[in-house]
Amino acid sequence: MSRRWIATVSGPLVEYASGFSEELVDLGYSKSAAKKQMQLLAHLDHWLEVEVHEVGELTTDLVEPLFAARRNEGRSNLLTTKSLKPFLGFLRRAGIPEPATAAPTDPVELMVDRYRRHLSQERGLVEGTVHFYVHVARLFLSERSVIEGVDLAGLQGADVIGFIGRVCEGRGLSSARQAVSALRSLLRWLQMEGLTQPGLDKAVLSAAGWCPNLPRAIDTGQVARLLRSCDRRRALGRRDHAILVLLARLGLRGGEVVRLELEDLDWRRGEILVRGKGGREDRLPLPADVGTALAAYLQRGRPQSASRRVFLRHHAPFVGLADTGAVRGVLERACERAGIAYVSPHRLRHTAATEMLRAGAPLSEIAQVLRHRSPTTTSFYAKVDLARLGELARHWPGVA
């Protein structure tokens, strides 16, 4: 890369310019994209010097005025604080820690923060679940907020029942059940912390309702169209095809696909290690078609990268997929190419289970593949097996 842009950095960021320039090359940035990043770095360097800020203070919130100025000046690229993510990542890897945020002083937020750490560190829940549980916890604890702190000593079952009625109002059945689970979790934690009397979680009534629908699988023809929609002559097509095969054949969740690492593929034994919900790890057989799709991507599609994630971004920086949103994006584009309505990763999981059942696999084996903790969860798929259910159904009187 030209040294010109490095030379324009002469303020607080001067000692990081050369290393950042080299990292951009290592991450696969094109010359044009890397040049724009270095131009932004020069602008940031000048801004920090004028505003008298140190490198250690850098956060996206701090530099929002810089990007507001860039937008007002009519610049055409790198206009939001998200553009600073590559450099902030470089600083963290270079040993510059993220500035400490002010510790919360509000009693509710202090308790919510402790509960969040419990969910993440001790229970190992995924980020999305933690976010929802914390949301419900904040609503509940805010209602108990008083001048002295959070009043939990007088908490009664009637208070719990009243809250769950309010928080479930207007929610669908699935969302209401999630809210019920979140409140039970919070009450058990509060009891464990000695902040409430025992047994209040029993006061959380289950969300009444029954879902009569069959699992929302798609037919094999639609699955075939999704897979055929990937242009496997191109690297991106091979990546997307491998992701879709994992979803459709093994019923992996989107997050499990994102978390796959190279070491999780045991080619000699023909197994794949799946890192599931709650920190659970399971080994599954690696079917031939899944292995073929993965090998095609790894050999002729995956960019060179220091990342150990199996699936990487197709454009620089060549790092692992950010989150399940990337997997949903793969499916969304595949559905558009195939000319079918959007299919979520979970519907492909339903499809994998349904196809196994129709092929004669018992529910116990399906539970092992889907890694269900409870047999009750897998029994949901019994609704699909209409032939076997027909054998159990009694004939209507008067009908031969």
Q: Which of 265, 311, 303, 262 is nearest to 285 (CA)?
A: 265
Buried b (16+ CB within 10 A) or exposed e, 295-323: ebbbeebbbebebebbbbbbebbbbbbee
CB 344 within 8 A of CB 331: yes
Q: Which of 129, 130, 117, 204 is nearest to 167 (CA)?
A: 204
Q: Model-level pTM greater than 0.75? A: no
Residue 43 Rama label (left phi>0; alpha psi -120 to 50; beta): alpha
More confident residue, 313 or 147: 313
Domain ranges of the chain: 4-93, 107-203, 224-341
pLDDT in tens, 158-204: 999 999 889 888 888 888 889 999 999 999 999 999 999 888 888 88
Decide if 107-203 and 224-341 have a common fold.
Answer: no
pLDDT in tens, 237-283: 999 999 999 999 998 989 999 999 999 999 999 999 998 876 788 89
**Residue 160 φ then ψ, to 5°:** -65, -45
Q: What is the dihedral angle through the alpha carbons of 39, 40, 43, 46, rounded to the nearest 10 degrees? A: -100
CB 309 within 8 A of CB 260: yes
Q: Distance of alpha carbon 207 from its chain centroid, rounded?
A: 26
CA distances from 172 to 129, 181, 211, 347 (A): 17, 14, 11, 19
Residue 310 Rama label (left phi>0; alpha psi -120 to 50; beta): alpha
Grade residue 400 by pLDDT with cuts at 50, 70 and 90. Answer: low
Q: How many helices (H) and strands (E) does the chain have?
A: 18, 5
CATH superfamily of 107-203: Tyrosine recombinase, N-terminal domain (1.10.150.130)
Q: Which of 13, 2, 1 is nearest to 41 (CA)?
A: 13
Residues annotated as part of the active site: 253, 277, 346, 349, 372, 381
Q: What percent of the chain has pLDDT over 90?
A: 46
| 116 pLDDT more than 90 | yes
Q: What is the 3-state secondary structure (H, E, C) of 238-290?
A: HHHHHHHHHHHHHCCCHHHHHHCEHHHEECCCCEEEEECHHHCEEEEECCHHH
| 6 pLDDT more than 80 | no
Token duo for residue 376:
């009750």
Residues 331 and 300: their CA atoms lie apart, in Å, by 21
**CATH number for the segment(s) 224-341:** 1.10.443.10
**Residue 195 φ then ψ, to 5°:** -100, -15
Candidate ranges 94-98, 144-148, 381-385; pick with highest mean pLDDT:
94-98
